[in-house]
A and B are shown apart, each in its own frame.
Chain A
Amino acid sequence: MNLEIAPLVSAARQGDREAFTKLVELHQKVAGSIAYGILNDTHLAADAVQDAFVKAWRSLDGLREDGRFSAWFLQIVRTRSLDLLRHRRRKAPETAQLDDALDADRGPGPSEVLEQKERGEKIRKILAELPAEYREVLMLKHDQDRSYREIARILGTTVKGVESKLFRARGALAEKLKRLDGSSGGDH
């Protein structure tokens, strides 16, 4: 991955916006997962990622090795997310209402799709109840399908630490899921 990234970083340093666009595309998803893990809010996560990209672009000169862009950038994402966490506020309620209205506009699909959507929403709520450290590792594994080694590098921990945290996070999630299924009479 670094082989692919280093030339892009080098070109971006020279002001090549196309190269930076590619870097954005390559990192957008993982950055979103990390930011969401910390912030537990998709709107704030998107803000954090956006801010981090702008900061990265402006500070490219401060990056010593082009090949280390990913780790450097994801650290910016984490720092920015933690900054926002300190000042977290809900997005303007009107926006949320519109989003809901627009979602409703799409109209219900087949019942299976609707059920899956509802279940997805419930799981999302469970995910939101988990500690940030669990959510972060679950997002990196299940959304990004990163290896333990990669996750360890991103989070600045050990492979063993990642494995252990994932196991505990899944355990916590399973407990909540069991309660959810019990209370809703098993909607799966």
Chain B
Amino acid sequence: MNPQPECHLIRRWISQLEDQELPPERVAILESHLDHCSGCRNWYKEFQHGMDALDLGVVKVSGEIDRLLTGTLIPSKLSPPGESEEIARAADRAAPRLAALAAGVLVLISIVAWAVFPGFRWDALWRGSATVGNMSLASLQDDFLIEIDGEERDLSQDGATGMIEIGRTVRCRSGAGEIGDADGRVITISAGTYLTLTGESSVTLIDGSARFFVPPGKGGLVVVTEEVTTRVLGTTFEVQRWASRHRSEVRVIEGSVAVVRGERIPLPLRVGERVEVTRQGLMFHALRSEGETALPRASLGWPVEGQTDGNEAPPAIESNRPPEREERSREGNLPLDLPVNQRRGADPDGED
């Protein structure tokens, strides 16, 4: 039953033949062997079946990776080549001198502080207030691992802390952590979150999900994704983005937010509500809580005729579905599919 030694060689040749790597002089030998060896003929048949199956699996994987990569790398947004390397090199050169200088200043401050305030504690300097232009970073799980502008930062001990400058891009590889500022705004990130701290009051979410807590009276926060902008004053909400699908979701946990796409009228969202926006402007809007009546709401596709201030709800339009409809989206929400983009094709973002 076992194949002859010659058969082993022939089967390797079959594999090479499949790859068009078998020298022509061996093809004739192979054919001649197959003519009289039913074992190898069967093996060849199975081999071809396996190759067909393999192609099917490979195509699936390859298609998925392609889909994930499409639109995620935008070379036009990259900084000039080599620039960051030069900056890094310059920073490396300057680092020892800066460190020495900083240490000297700290020693001086501590001598003065101890002389003037005997009860002085170092951590009072930064406790509750991050340095201007910086935000604090804290681990919530012991496997918290992030990258800041591509550089790995290990905060893998529960409670580990650090600082991050505004303008940096953060990618959370594992675990969960918090980014906070002196005003008490907190961004909770977890594995998959990819965002840029674009300003003191603005964040761009590139991919993944993040939860934002904004205390009232602290200047608010703007969270931008390619599909939608969310403006808040004092609230807790989550934004999730699937970069590969050009799709964003905003979910309000406390208070209310205003979401807007391009120059359209802001749409207020209240507690428990969420909105999904795609790059094409399609939008779904639903209530989360079980038992609540899903009220039809206006869409972001409403044409702009005199911009409003965002607190004013746009006119309601009828939903095509009755609110008590049994169908549920994921998480058990009552979906309200609204035909929203009235001006499809004229993307007001001008980024598409």
Interface residues of A (CB under 8 A from B): 12-13, 15, 17-18, 20-21, 24, 28-29, 32-33, 35-36, 42-43, 45-46, 49-51, 53-55, 57-62, 84, 87, 89-92, 94-95, 97-99, 101-102, 116, 119-124, 126-127, 138-139, 141-143, 147-148, 163, 166-167, 170, 173-174, 177-178, 188
Residue on B with the closest CB to A148?
B21
Query: What does the 1/0 interface line of B49-66 toward A look like (CB < 8 Å)?
Result: 111011111111110111
- Asked whether A49 and B65 contact (CB < 8 A) given A120-B57, A142-B54, the answer is yes
Q: What's the nearest-Cβ distance from chain A to residue B62, in Å?
A: 5
Residue among A42, A59, A126 with max Cβ neighbours from chain B (10 Å): A42
Query: What does the 1/0 interface line of B144-172 toward A look like (CB < 8 Å)?
Result: 01000010000000000000000000000
Contact among B62, B78, B82 for A143, CB-based, below 8 A? B62
In the assembled complex, 28 residue pairs joining A and B whose CB atoms fall closer than 8 Å, in A order, are A28-B66, A28-B69, A29-B62, A32-B62, A33-B62, A45-B65, A46-B244, A51-B150, A62-B85, A84-B173, A87-B173, A89-B143, A90-B191, A92-B209, A95-B208, A98-B242, A101-B329, A101-B330, A119-B56, A120-B60, A121-B60, A123-B53, A147-B21, A148-B21, A163-B15, A170-B51, A170-B54, A177-B49
Query: What does the 1/0 interface line of B81-100 toward A look like (CB < 8 Å)?
Result: 11111000000000000000
Q: Is the CB of B50 within 8 A of A142?
A: no
Cβ of B112 within 8 Å of any chain A Cβ, yes or no, is no
- Asked whether A42 and B56 contact (CB < 8 A) given A17-B76, A20-B75, A50-B73, the answer is no
Q: Is the CB of A61 within 8 A of B57?
A: no
Q: Is the CB of A58 within 8 A of B12?
A: no
Contacts beyond the supplied A32-B62, A58-B83: 19 A-B pairs with Cβ under 8 Å? A12-B81, A15-B81, A17-B75, A20-B78, A43-B68, A50-B72, A57-B75, A58-B82, A58-B84, A59-B81, A60-B81, A84-B173, A89-B191, A123-B57, A142-B55, A166-B19, A167-B12, A173-B54, A177-B53
- Complex: A28 Cα to B68 Cα, angstroms: 11
Cβ of B46 within 8 Å of any chain A Cβ, yes or no, is yes
Cβ of B302 within 8 Å of any chain A Cβ, yes or no, is no
Q: Is the CB of A143 within 8 A of B58?
A: yes
Residue on A with the closest CB to B60?
A120
- Complex: A55 Cα to B151 Cα, angstroms: 11
Q: Is the CB of B68 within 8 A of A46?
A: yes
Q: Is the CB of A32 within 8 A of B69?
A: yes
Q: What's the nearest-Cβ distance from chain A to residue B45, in Å?
A: 11
Q: Is the CB of B330 within 8 A of A141?
A: no
Q: Which residues of A contact B329 (CB under 8 A)?
A: 101
Residue on B with the closest CB to A14?
B81
